[in-house]
Amino acid sequence: MLAVQTPLISIVIIGRNEARNLPRLHASLAPLEARWPCETVFVDSASNDNSVDIGRSLFDTVAVLSPSPHLNASAGRHVGVSLVRGEWVLFLDGDMEVMPGCSDALSAHFSGNESTKGVVGIYVNRFSDGSTRRWSPAIDRHGCVVHFGGAVLLPIEALRAQNWDPRFYSNEEIELYARLRQSGYCVRRLDCDFIAHWTASVSVRRRLIGNFSPRNSFLGKKFYGVGQVLRACVVEGRLLNLMRWFPEPFVLWGAILLSPLLALALGWLVAAALLVGACGFVIRRRSWRLVIVYIAFLPQALLGWGRFARDWTPTTAAIYRRKVPAHRAD
Cβ proximity of 175 and 259 under 8 Å: no
Look at the pTM and tell me if it is higher than 0.85.
Answer: yes
Tell me, what's the pLDDT at 102? 82
Tell me, what's the pLDDT at 5? 57
Domain 9-202+314-321 has CATH 3.90.550.10: yes
The number of angstroms, rounded, from the C-alpha of 90 to the middle of its chain's C-alpha atoms is 11
Lowest mean pLDDT among 54-58, 105-109, 142-146, 210-214: 105-109
- Average pLDDT value over all residues in the chain: 92
Q: CA-based diameter of the chain, in Å?
A: 73
Q: Per-residue confidence at 330, pLDDT binned at 50, 70, 90?
A: very low
CA distances (Å), 170 to each of 119, 150, 224, 226, 318, in order?
A: 21, 10, 7, 7, 25
285-323 pLDDT, tens per residue? 888 889 999 999 999 999 999 999 999 999 999 999 986
Query: In terms of Cα–Cα distance, which of 155, 36, 159, 40 is closest to 107?
Result: 36
Q: What is the rounded distance in angstroms from the CA atom of residue 325 to the CA atom of residue 127?
A: 34
| Strand 152-155 to 88-93 pairing | antiparallel
The answer to whether residue 329 scores a pLDDT higher than 70 is no
Query: In terms of Cα–Cα distance, which of 137, 72, 121, 122 is closest to 290?
Result: 137
Q: What percent of the chain has pLDDT over 70?
A: 95
Q: Per-residue confidence at 241, pLDDT binned at 50, 70, 90?
A: very high
Tell me, what's the pLDDT at 122? 94
Tell me, what's the pLDDT at 2? 36
The answer to whether residue 115 scores a pLDDT higher than 80 is no
Domain ranges of the chain: 9-202+314-321, 204-307
- DSSP class of residue 8 equals P
